[in-house]
Every structure is written in C-alpha cells, then in structure tokens.
Chains A and B, each alone.
Chain A
Amino acid sequence: MSGWIALLKRDVMLASRLGGGGFVGVIFFLSLVVLAPFALGPDLNLLARVGPALLWIAALLATLIGLDRLFQADEEDGSLDLMRMGDMPMLLVVLAKGIAHWLTTGLPLTLAAPVLGLLLAIEPKVLGVVMLSLVIGTPALTFIGAVGAALTVSVRRGGLLLAVIVMPMMIPVMIFGVATASAAASDMMDFTTPLMVLAGLSLGSIVVASLIAALALSEAS
C-alpha cells in the first residue's frame, strides 16, 4: 500500500513540476473556452445553450493532452521495466498513474469550469450541475485514455494515434455529460438520470479500462 501511495505521490509531483505537463491541460481548457465567445459572437442565448457542450468538448481535449506521456515517459527511461518487475500488480500501477493524471488534469479543470461558465453566460444553477458532471465524468475520460496510452506506449509520437483510438470510446461519456447539463437547463426532466448513467460509465471504465491497460502494459516488451 505504501508503494502505491509513493507512486501516486511521485506522479502528481512529476506532473506539477516544470516539464511535467500536468496543468498545461487546464491552460489549454481555458484558452479553448475563451476562444468560443469570439468565434460564436456575443449572442448570450446561443452561448448559454452551447456552453455546457463547449465545456465538455474542451474538457475532453484537455484530458487528451499529456495522456500520451502517461506511460510512455516511464517506458522510455526504463521505470516501467522496474515496475513490471516489482510485486505490485500492473493493475494497481495503472490505477495510481490514472488517478494522478486525473488529480492534475480532470480535477483542476473542473475547478476552473465556474469561472469559464461566466464567460459563456451559463446560469449558476446549470453551472453547478456542469461541474458535478465534469467531476464525475472526467475520471472516465482519463481511464479510457489510459487504454490508448498503454496501447501506444512504444509508438514514437503516438499522441495523434492515441486520440484517434480513444475518442470514439469517449463518445458515450460525452453524450451523458452534456445530457446532464441540458436536463438541468431545460427543467423539463430530472438531471439525476443522465448523471447516474455518467457515474456508471465512469466507475465501469475505471475498472475495465485499467484491466485492459494493465494487460497491454504487461505484454509490451
């Protein structure tokens, strides 16, 4: 257990230091959302309507940043070899690295969302639900992305390949994430239903994607 915590702490530390790329995702998220009002024009109704979807698209793209280095950095310098040789199952290694990635990407961009929601004229009530959907849904993005990261671990400049592999798998998460926000905005239906599905997707992908990624990493040599 202490080894697992040490790995989690190391990955958070590496991501938050210079060159780690941990918070670059948040900056990218910020720039994407700030661009939207300029591109769409100052129509507040339009912005409020597409705002939650924009936040989700930006969150998805921001999560992809840095995912290609999730395992590759450790594969290149030999750290992953030592991890394969340790007695900690690869599944736990994937879990620790995934959680560290979420703590330095998904969580900060969830926290940045309210500020950006103001730019997009999203109502405070809806904004709360968008934040909730982001905090529940972004772990799914990270762990689905981890599958792609594990599959492209030995591919040079595999970032684009990774995006192509994982984006289709992220569509359901996206659908229910945005559906949660739309439901909250329309008042016509209960937003907890899509939120429950989103939570299910998230929990399911943490388990299934970790298993697949761990399998892919143990096979690579």
Chain B
Amino acid sequence: MLLRAEALACIRAERLLFSGLSFASEPGCAVGLTGPNGVGKSSLLRLIAGLLPVHAGRLALTGSATGPVIAGSDHEVPLGQYCHYLGHRDALKPSMSVMETLDFWQAFLAPSPPHSIQPAQPDICGPRAGAMSGTAAQSESVPAESVPAESSPMTALSCDTALDRVGLAHLADLSCQLLSAGQRRRLTLARLLVVARPLWLLDEPTTALDSAGQDVLWQLCTHHLVHGGVIMVATHAALPVPNTPLALDRGHA
C-alpha cells in the first residue's frame, strides 16, 4: 500500500501551517517527517488521520483490493479508519486494567473494512540507516512473497500475543494508573497490533521508551513495512528503519 499526497494545505486557528505539500511513500520505506517545533508535523499526521480538515489538496491510499481510497478538500472520505494514530495523548483510562484497555480498543476498532494489500518490494530505497536488532533484520531478509499469510500485518494479533510482543504480558491485570510512562507507551504500541490497519501515523513514538522498548518499536515497524504497510513517523531522532525523509520547514507556508 502506498500513501500519496498532492498539494496539501492545512490551516489551524486561521493560520496557514503549510500549503502545496506533496509527497509519496515508497514501498517498504517509512516516511520520516522532520522539522522544527511548531512547523506542523503533528498537524500533518492529524490531517491524514482525518482529525483535521484538509483545506486544499488530496490524499490517496492506493494498493488496497477495494481500489484507492481518496481523501481531500473535495472528497469527504476520511482516511481515519485505515490509520492507526499514535499521538501524545495515549487514550488510557487510569481505572481500567491493561488487558481491559486492549480488549476494549480491539472490540471498538476491529470492525473496519477488510484491507488487502500488495506485498511491497523491500530494498528499494537504498541502504538501511542505523543498526537493526536480530529479529528485525531477520524479518527484513524474508522476501515478501514467501511470507505466510497469517503473519501479514493485516492480520490482527490477539490481546495476549500483542501484550507479549511489547513486553507487558506480566502486567495484564495491572491498572493503567500504575504504569510508568514507558509502559503506557508500550501499551499504545500493542494497540497497533490488535487491530490491523495499513497506515501507521506515529508522532514521536520513542518518547519515554527505553532502548529495549525502542528496539521493539522499530521491529514492529520493520515488520509492518515489509508486509506492505505504510508508516509515517514524526521524529527528531534518526530512524533505524528504511525511510524517505520529508522535511517540513517554514518555507512550505
């Protein structure tokens, strides 16, 4: 699946954040969104998620079996239900346990339309940046065609498996109130896994994560990319996954 944006413009509080912004994701590569504070990185992610109106331009998510999904100022089809949005606010309730939280979001978000995606061709966008840990490197070297169907990113994991994947299995019954900032972040990562959606919008995903947690995050991202998903990451750090950079600057306004 690929995400393409043409001449996007975003207005917040009557202030033009950016306009004429065009980009396209490449197969197997994340889009690494960089730029100074306040330039509109989060707003761009929220705009793609359908949480902000598209002032001008259009967005297309291509490669699904049902044909391209197009959103934009003249198309009222929100991309929201194809996206996972991981923002600054983690949507966790202090009085619910880890497992209850994940169960709820799985039940609530699950009935999305079936997505089928084309396998991406890895190794298109040049050398990998940064170091990969073991599992991630392995899953990368697997050619997309030989990947068994059940490990496709469009197959949602069970809550237990997802918690295990992010290292929270032993805390399933703990209330979210007692989680540390990093553990909360891991729980939001588990939410990406229990519902299958092709487009991940990650806003500063490494915040509060320890180095092991960051390894888990990048492994999950690599897995998603290799299986044809699309990822857009807003970050200030170097991305250890293959990515096409997209630098926002004030010149776009």
A residues apposed to B, CB below 8 Å: 2-3, 5-7, 9-10, 13-14, 17-20, 74, 76-79, 81-88, 221
Assess the A83–B108 pair: CB atoms within 8 A.
yes
Residues of A within 8 A of B78 (CB): 85
Main secondary structure of the interface of A (DSSP, over half): helix
Residues of A within 8 A of B23 (CB): none
Q: Quick one: which of B86-115 are within 8 Å of A by CB?
A: 87-96, 100, 103-105, 107-113
Q: Determine whether B83 belongs to the interface, using a CB cutoff of 8 Å to chain A.
A: yes
Residue from the list B100, B105, B108 in contact with A88, Cβ < 8 A: B108
Assess the A77–B83 pair: CB atoms within 8 A.
no
Assess the A79–B81 pair: CB atoms within 8 A.
no
**The 3 A-B residue pairs with the shortest CB-CB distance in the complex, in nearest-first order:** A78-B89, A85-B80, A6-B107
Q: Which of A6, A7, A88 has most B Cβ within 10 Å?
A: A6
Instruction: Provide a sorted-by-A list of 7 A–B residue pairs whose CB atoms are within 8 angstroms.
Output: A2-B110, A10-B108, A77-B91, A78-B90, A85-B49, A85-B85, A87-B112
Main secondary structure of the interface of B (DSSP, over half): loop
CA A16 – CA B85 in complex, angstroms? Answer: 29
Residues of B within 8 A of A87 (CB): 81, 111-113
Identity of the chain A residue whose Cβ is nearest the Cβ of B87 in the assembled complex = A78
Q: Determine whether B51 belongs to the interface, using a CB cutoff of 8 Å to chain A.
A: yes
Residues of A within 8 A of B110 (CB): 2-3
Residue from the list B46, B80, B89, B104 in contact with A77, Cβ < 8 A: B89
Assess the B90–A77 pair: CB atoms within 8 A.
yes
CA A6 – CA B46 in complex, angstroms? Answer: 25
Q: Quick one: which of B194-236 are within 8 Å of A by CB?
A: none
CA A87 – CA B78 in complex, angstroms? Answer: 10
Assess the A3–B90 pair: CB atoms within 8 A.
no
Min CB distance, B177 to chain A, in Å? 9
Known: A2-B111, A76-B89, A77-B92. 8 other contacts (CB 8 A): A5-B107, A6-B103, A10-B96, A10-B104, A13-B96, A81-B49, A84-B50, A86-B108
Q: Which of A81, A83, A85 has most B Cβ within 10 Å?
A: A85
Contact with A along B40-80 (1 / 0, CB 8 A): 00000010011111000000000000000000000000101
Assess the B93–A82 pair: CB atoms within 8 A.
no
